[in-house]
Amino acid sequence: MVSFIKLIHNENIKIFKRLGTLVMMGVLILFVGIHTFASESNDDPNWKTALQQENSSAQKALAGNKLSSQEKSQIEETVQMNQYRLSNDIQPLLMHEYLLSALVMLVYLITLFAIIHAGTSVAGEFNDGTIKFLLIRPHSRIKILLAKYMSLLMFVGIMVMIVAFTLLILGGFKYGFEGLVEPSIYWEQNQMVTQTFLLQWIQQIVLVLVSPLAMMTLAFMISTIFRSSSLAIGLGIFSYFVGGILVSQLASRGHDWTKYLLFANTDLTIYFSNMKPLVEGMTFSFSLVVVSIYLTTFLLSAFITFSKRDIAS
């Protein structure tokens, strides 16, 4: 166990001693600062009037015949939420919007960084010729590959924590830390929920980890099987940006089988908002199972290939 921990430690050193990793951290912090500076500073004192006007416009839209059933459902849920705020005097706070929107935006960057590191994790060892020296050590190939994957998980976790901590600090100074304990209203699997915002924030952090985890594992598998960093990074980034768009287009045309594709299930935050899944009938548990199956398949493919490969070839 101690030797395995040392393996993970060595892999972490490889990641965090790179200049590129420090640049990635700096870019994340810079984007948080820019987002904080660009965000609105003051909550609307006339928020009740604004919500009433929004509900009035929504009712007019619902009275028409140009909306799909999904659009009508989303508008109706928004009206219910606004009415609940008005009835219970719960003001929508800019800090809540600031933290949630920034987290979603920065996860895109974290996912790209995760793909880059995962794409070079194994293939880089082959390209540099260091894989033979790594395998000389008295560790099984499974442990060596697992240590690499664990270090990538830690990298993603650290990146997310850096973003979350920086957002909380800058957001707290700009809007006041008291907003963290104010009630937040959101939809959770077709039910309206009121919860302390800090708890919702922690929940969102856990949920957004799924996307970078899935894409990182995909790039890790490609890197291990094909021993090509450029292929792993290129396919990983291409899949990340094109996969979601393609699945969305297919689902909008009535292809229900798209619900079994990875990219239709990586955004678990939709089940905790008034957004609807791509295919009717999809649930949080369903998406979790689908993602788990894909991750297991990716990892098994990587580990089986790595354990049987002739390193000399």
What's the rounded Cα separation, in Å, for the pair 183 and 198? 9
Helices (H) and strands (E) in the chain, counts: 12, 2
Local structure of 254: helix, strand or coil: coil
pLDDT digit of tens for each residue in the chain (313 aa)? Answer: 777 888 889 889 989 999 999 999 999 999 999 988 888 777 778 889 989 998 898 888 888 777 777 778 888 888 898 898 899 888 888 888 889 889 988 999 999 999 999 999 888 777 766 766 666 666 788 888 999 999 999 999 999 999 999 999 999 888 888 889 998 888 877 788 888 999 999 999 999 999 999 999 999 999 999 989 999 999 999 999 999 899 999 988 889 999 999 999 999 998 888 788 888 889 999 999 999 999 999 999 999 998 887 665 4
Of 299, 303, 106, 113, the C-alpha closest to 218 is 299
Residue 222 has what pLDDT? 95
Q: Where are the domains of the chain?
A: 2-38+90-308
Residue 278 has what pLDDT? 86
Residue 135 has what pLDDT? 66
Of 285, 114, 117, 276, the C-alpha closest to 209 is 114
